[in-house]
Amino acid sequence: MNTTATPDLRPANTHFSSGPCSKRPGWSLDALSDAPLGRSHRAKVGKAKLKQAIDLTREVLNVPADYRIGIVPASDTGAVEMAMWSLLGERGVDMVAWESFGSGWVSDVVKELKLSDARKITADYGKLPDLSTIDFNRDVVFTWNGTTSGVRVPNADFIPADRQGLTICDATSGAFAQDLDFSKLDVVTFSWQKVLGGEGGHGVLILSPRAVARLESYTPAWPLPKIFRMTKGGKIVEGIFQGETINTPSMLCVEDYIDALQWAKSLGGLNALMARADANAQVIFDYVEKTDWIANLAEVADTRSNTSVCLKIVDPEVTALAPDQQDAFAKGMVALLEKQGVAHDIGAYRDAPSGFRIWAGATIDTADLEALMPWFDWAFATQKATQLKAAA
């Protein structure tokens, strides 16, 4: 029998999806009224908007002046694939993975690019691999923040400044929420649908001078699709990094990204965004600390994400169930919270252990997470009263 009272307070914003993520507070379609709809992205106005998005990205993320920033097709996935297909193969590569998307990059390098000198350095969900085993004389591909595991690298100290290989970093749920050390990163990718709550479909690719030198000195053994080509005649196509996109972007989505970047600036820039994400994640961490039936999937505190917070059920009666029943228990809680209209899209990623994934990035207001936490106690008690009773 459920003895936990239904909470009185409900979150004002119930969108806790880990991608596409919640829009910024106060967002409305009116914010996009300046979008040059029906105009060519190659017209003066279109190029100006794309260049503005690139310039604001540099300003808010503190990207070094000699790094190039391009808006590319197909979200973060497209940006990572562009980098791997264009840059890898010049030397051996260490593929570092501890969650679904990192594992996907491993699969692409081994099965699609078929690189014979590719080492896999992996860890189970909830853990980081032993980063000391990475050989930075080789190229290295890794995720900064494991979106589906809630495990991030705490900093870039494990990357040597005098590395010989390139570091290719998928930073899609870390950029704008965590302090990326660009001096240690040669390729950084993300999509603006994550931390800034932009619309899906576009990726951002940031290249260091070392990455550009590789592009201009190395030609892969495989053919490159048009949307991956960043050089012509052995020289980088500079236009890509000035707003001349390879394919046609959505100017509505570009306008939405500009709006999010301007909002970020109005808060105080990157430090303010990180502070919001930290405060949001701390609400969840504090709740977990005082609640005995739930735990953070990330086992080490320093590696816990402040954006995609992943949780698991550790109640002995639930963990004693068969795996499919444990999964049903968590999904039942997710369904209860959705039916109550207090949280949407918070189930664990399909390849991850059963549980929950709550977005805590900067576009979420802390008060909404504070209002959500008591609902977890209610949903747990309600689900336990029904599922375990039925199982008995």
Segment 201-216, tens digit of pLDDT: 999 999 999 999 999 9
- Note whether 129 and 96 are within 8 A (CB): yes
Stated pTM of the model: 0.97
Q: How many Å is the Cα radius of gyration of the chain?
A: 22
- The pLDDT of residue 3 is 63
All structural domains of the chain: 29-266 (3.40.640.10), 269-391 (3.90.1150.10)
Q: Which residue has the tokens 């169930």?
A: 321
The pLDDT tens digits of the residues spanning 69-116 come to: 999 999 999 999 999 999 999 999 999 999 999 999 999 999 999 999
> What pLDDT does residue 389 have?
75
Beta-strand relationship, 145-146 and 151-152 = antiparallel
pLDDT band at 4 (very low <50, low <70, confident <90, very high): confident
Q: What is the pLDDT of residue 390?
A: 76
Q: How far is 121 from 319, CA to CA, in rounded Å?
A: 29
CA distance linking residue 153 with residue 145, whole number of Å: 7
pLDDT tens sequence across 38-62: 999 999 999 999 999 999 999 999 9
Side-chain-facing half-sphere of 389: CA atoms under 13 Å: 8
Task: For residues 44 and 57, give the distance between their C-alpha atoms in angstroms, rounded to a whole number.
Answer: 20
Q: State the pLDDT at residue 388.
A: 74
Pull the structure tokens for residue 167: 């570091």
Q: Identify the three-state secondary structure at position 169.
A: strand
Instruction: Using the CB atoms, write b or e for 84-117: b if 16+ within 10 Å.
Output: bbbbbbeebbbbbbbbbbbbbbbebbeeebebee
Say if residue 391's pLDDT is above 80: no
Residues 6+ positions from 256 with CB-CB distance below 8 Å? 31, 32, 198, 199
CB neighbours (10 Å) of residue 330?
23
